[in-house]
Amino acid sequence: MPHLTSRLAGTLGTGVRTGLGVPGCAHPLLAPAEWNALARPGTPLHWAVLDVDRGPGTQPDPHCLDAAGRLRNAGVRVLGRLDGAQGTRPRIELIADAHRYLEWYQVDGFLLDRCPAGREGLPETRRTITSLRALRADAHVVLGHGTHPYPGYAENADQLVTFDGPWSDYRFSQVAEWTADHPPERFCHFVHGVPRAHLDEALRVARWQGAATVWFTDRTDHGGRADPWETLPGYWDDIVSHIGTGVSE
């Protein structure tokens, strides 16, 4: 695949920097240290997702408002999580949630999580994105497919999550060839269960596959019984150092 080799060389030559995209920590009352660490100056974050209660909740949460404000003051984009339910959730519900995120937490954009990936889901997803940008024209929109979707999705969103899963799958994963038509800053990878000893390898996989926004953690889902994103990885300082100093490049 020579075009992928060319893309890797171009990424290294143009100074595209890998950064972290946070899928969403636990509520600030349950994970205060995590939210404080994310707001620390110099942390190489592209954005962080705010998920109050599987969405924006039913009323403003002062703890989440404070956490989101501290991130924005640190220059970090805050994205509200919207549950797309694989395309089964009515658009009117998604936009109502988006409106609450904007009104209560002044978010900078949205992660449309569990976004459909097939060609048949593209028209409705496109309409949803149009509605989101009617609420905020400069909204940063990330589509959380978790796999490589039909290529047309890339024409409508700022970023696509093209991998969301365990290290055991990621280390042997293959990139879709059509992604070479887009720059690395268009793609995100979320990987759990990455041992500290394999962190450098995981960063190499992300660079080779052309994903500039990543989240690697040694936490696991324990067979689907836990959320590996709720806490920071045990090697948080290491990954911040790697990416923040450009070692990962």
Q: Give 44-91 pLDDT, tens digit per residue.
A: 999 999 999 999 999 999 999 999 999 999 999 999 999 999 999 999
Kindly state whether residue 249 falls inside one of the protein's structural domains. Answer: no
Q: What is the separation of C-alpha 20 from the centre of its chain, rounded to a whole number of angstroms? A: 8
Q: Note whether 113 and 128 are within 8 A (CB).
A: no
Total domain count for the chain?
A: 1
Three-state DSSP state, 177: helix
Q: What is the pTM of this model?
A: 0.92
Residue 129 lies in a domain: yes
In a domain, 108, yes or no: yes
Give the dihedral sign, CA 9/243/231/193. Answer: positive
Is residue 162 domain-resident?
Answer: yes
Q: What is the CATH number of the domain that holds 94?
A: 3.20.20.70
Residue 82 contacts residue 55 (beta carbons within 8 Å): yes
Is 64 a domain residue? yes
Q: With respect to residue 51, please indicate whether it lies within any of the assigned structural domains.
A: yes
- The answer, yes or no, to whether residue 245 has pLDDT greater than 70, is no
d(CA 237, CA 245): 12
The pLDDT of residue 5 is above 50: no
Give residue 79's domain range. 2-9+18-244
